[in-house]
Amino acid sequence: MIVIGADVHKRSHTFVAVDDAGRKLGSTVVAATTSGHHKALRWAHEKFGGEVLWAIEDCRNMSARLERDLLTAKQKVVRVTPRLMAEHRRTGRERGKSDPIDALAVARAAAREPDLPVASHDELSYEAKALVDYRE
């Protein structure tokens, strides 16, 4: 299965895809908006087909909108704790800190950890999304 790791920021999101062995397959950067998220979904679908796992660093103040948009698109989303990501960054070949390195660390951490928390919509988040969509 292809795992797409996300490094999220206020204005942009960086995505890096890896295969089962953790090899980097591709990357993209999109705006941190719903239309940017749709662009990332199109990129993933065109490059890797429909079966992907989205792995997002668990910082919900920055990733909540991305999670909602992915879940609305019926994607599987897991949350990677910053501790797991930092652990991979420490042992990885790439040195330093950058958005692509962080997204790669998230993807590789998700690929090797089978029991990560799965993101899901609850009733309240569905209602909030409906209100936000209506307002926009």
pLDDT score recorded for residue 57: 86
Give the residue from 15, 136, 108 showing the smallest Cα distance to 66.
15
pLDDT score recorded for residue 93: 55
pLDDT score recorded for residue 126: 61
pLDDT score recorded for residue 122: 65
pTM for the whole structure: 0.80
Mean pLDDT by 10 residues, the chain (136 residues): 94 95 94 96 93 88 88 91 66 63 90 76 66 76
> Any idea which architecture 2-135 has in CATH?
2-Layer Sandwich (3.30)
Tell me if residue 103 falls in helix, strand or coil.
helix
DSSP 38-93: HHHHHHHHHHH-S-EEEEEES-HHHHHHHHHHHHHTT-EEEEE-HHHHHHHHHHSS
